[in-house]
């Protein structure tokens, strides 16, 4: 597949905060691929999972060294690159650090359940090798919501792995998905999410909204798997305004953390950023100002924002 290739292999998705990072692909697609709200790798043309070999990835790193004069940050993908194997991952991190000694931040996506299998000792080894930030899809701290969406992790697993990472001095970047509990469970979704965030006290909390790509009745374009549950009545999608109320509730309850909270994605209806707890009240004021607009203005805003990856 890679014979004769002259370009390093590209990733499909990276966090917005890694837009300036050098991107290195260790795995293709998502090993789990079951979350009801996602299906994003198949939708973007990567329906199956495969792990690349260590020599393949090292070759990419060599090619990048020949092209990139200076890289200060690097990101390893795709969705859960530790699936390449802990020893293999560590070997690649060491090679990357040796090839690009100027790198100050080396990050990856990781599923909490994969980190859980690495255990505390494995996480310490990752830190020693030079990984210093991990992006984790917390999505929700509500066990019922996580189970419904087949996320494959419990709040306890996320809390334990988050604490191990912090103890190993690896920064934790949690993603929270507004709308994940639907209209029925939005309060438990937010309240239990607050509990996990307080428990781990991550460096970053990044806010997203469930992205229902593909229209409800589209047969030929990729469709978010959650549409099936919406059609069957198993999931009642949150309203646009409901997601703003979720954001407000989340920030209102997060009084005890030392975290940078950011809505760093274009599909958020209201975007606030700030250090908690210092900027908490200012962020609530921004949301309240928006909610006090006339209803027609709010609806027009929701329609204008739309959805995107
Ligand atoms: S949310 Fe993450 S783990 Fe779940 S299917 Fe999507 S990429 Fe895979």
35 lines ligand 1 (CB under 6 A): yes
pLDDT tens for 11-30 read 989 999 999 999 999 999 99
Q: What's residue 2's pLDDT? A: 47
Q: Which residue out of 28, 34, 38, 180 has the highest number of ligand 1 atoms within 8 Å of its CB and is therefore the one to mutate?
A: 38
Please tell me the distance between residue 290's alpha carbon and the centre of ligand 1 in angstroms. Answer: 32
**pLDDT at residue 266, rounded to an integer:** 87
Point out the ligand 1 atom lying closest to the alpha carbon of residue 33: 5
According to the model, what pLDDT value does residue 107 have? 98
Q: Does 86 or 306 have the greater pLDDT score?
A: 86
Is any ligand 1 atom within 6 A of the Cβ of residue 148? no
Give the number of other Cβ atoms within 10 Å of residue 295's Cβ: 8
Four-point Cα dihedral 275, 280, 286, 292, nearest 10: 160
Per-residue model confidence (pLDDT) at position 229: 95
pLDDT (0 to 100) of residue 216: 64
Question: Per DSSP, what are the bridge partners of residue 286?
Answer: none
Cβ of 33 less than 6 Å from ligand 1: yes
Residue 222 pLDDT class (50, 70, 90 cuts) = confident
Mean pLDDT within 187-204: 98
158 CA to middle of ligand 1, Å? 15
Q: Which of 26-40, 129-143, 209-223 has the lowest mean pLDDT?
A: 209-223
Mean pLDDT for the stretch of residues 163-177: 98
What pLDDT is attached to residue 6?
A: 84
The answer, yes or no, to whether any atom of ligand 1 lies below 6 A from the CB of 83, is no
Mean pLDDT of the residues in the chain: 94
**Alpha-carbon distance 74 to 83, whole Å?**
18
Per residue in 72-115, pLDDT (tens digit) is 999 999 999 999 999 999 999 999 999 999 999 999 999 999 99
pLDDT at position 215 over 80: no
With a 6 Å cutoff on the Cβ, whether 40 touches ligand 1 is yes
How far does the centroid of ligand 1 lie from the alpha carbon of residue 118, in Å? 19
Question: How many whole angstroms from 137 Cα to the centroid of ligand 1?
Answer: 8
pLDDT per residue over 121-141, tens digit each? 999 999 999 999 999 999 999
CA–CA dist 87, 85 (Å, integer): 6
Per-residue pLDDT averaged across 189-203, rounded?
A: 98
pTM of the model: 0.94
pLDDT for res 217? 64
What is the reported pLDDT for 173?
98
pLDDT of residue 281: 97
pLDDT of residue 214: 82
What pLDDT, on the 0 to 100 scale, is given for residue 223?
Answer: 86
The pLDDT, as a whole number, for residue 261 is: 98
Say if CB 27 and CB 77 are below 8 A apart: yes
> Is residue 200 lining ligand 1, measured as CB closer than 6 Å?
no
Determine how β-strand 259-262 pairs with β-strand 204-209: parallel
Contact between 27 and 51 under an 8 Å Cβ cutoff? The reply is yes
In this predicted structure, the answer to whether residue 291 has a pLDDT above a threshold of 60 is yes
**pLDDT of res. 220:** 66
Query: Is the model's pLDDT at 180 over the cut of 80?
Result: yes
Q: Where is average pLDDT lowest: 207-216, 224-233, 265-274, 294-303?
A: 207-216
Cis before residue 277, ω within 30 degrees of 0? yes
Whole-number Å distance, alpha carbon 15 to ligand 1 midpoint, is 13
């Amino acid at each position: 597949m890679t014979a004769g290739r002259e370009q390093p292999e590209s990733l499909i998705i990276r966090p917005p905060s890694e837009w300036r990072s050098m991107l290195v692909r260790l795995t293709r697609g998502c090993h789990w691929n079951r979350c009801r709200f996602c299906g994003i790798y198949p939708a973007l043309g990567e329906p199956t999972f495969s792990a690349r070999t260590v020599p393949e990835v090292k070759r990419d790193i060599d090619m990048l060294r020949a092209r990139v004069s200076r890289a200060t940050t690097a990101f390893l993908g795709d969705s859960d690159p530790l699936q390449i194997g802990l020893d293999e991952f560590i070997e690649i991190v060491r090679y990357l650090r040796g090839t690009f000694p100027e790198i100050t931040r080396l990050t990856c996506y990781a599923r909490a359940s994969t980190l859980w299998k690495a255990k505390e000792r494995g996480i310490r080894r990752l830190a020693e090798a030079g990984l210093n930030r991990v992006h984790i899809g917390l999505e929700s701290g509500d066990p019922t919501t996580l189970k419904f969406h087949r996320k494959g992790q419990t709040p306890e697993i996320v809390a334990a792995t988050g604490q191990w990472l912090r103890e190993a001095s690896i920064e934790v970047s949690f993603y929270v998905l507004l709308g994940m509990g639907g209209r029925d469970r939005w309060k438990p979704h937010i309240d239990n999410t607050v509990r996990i965030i307080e428990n781990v006290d991550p460096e970053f909390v990044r806010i997203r909204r469930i992205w229902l790509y593909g229209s409800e009745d589209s047969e030929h374009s990729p469709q978010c798997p959650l549409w099936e549950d919406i059609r069957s009545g198993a999931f009642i999608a949150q309203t646009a305004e409901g997601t703003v109320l979720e954001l407000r509730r989340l920030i209102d309850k997060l009084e005890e953390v030392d975290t940078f909270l950011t809505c760093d994605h274009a599909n958020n209806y209201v975007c606030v950023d700030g250090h908690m707890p210092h900027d908490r009240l200012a962020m609530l004021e921004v949301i309240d100002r928006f909610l006090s607009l006339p209803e027609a203005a709010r609806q027009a805003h929701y329609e204008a924002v739309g959805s995107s990856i």
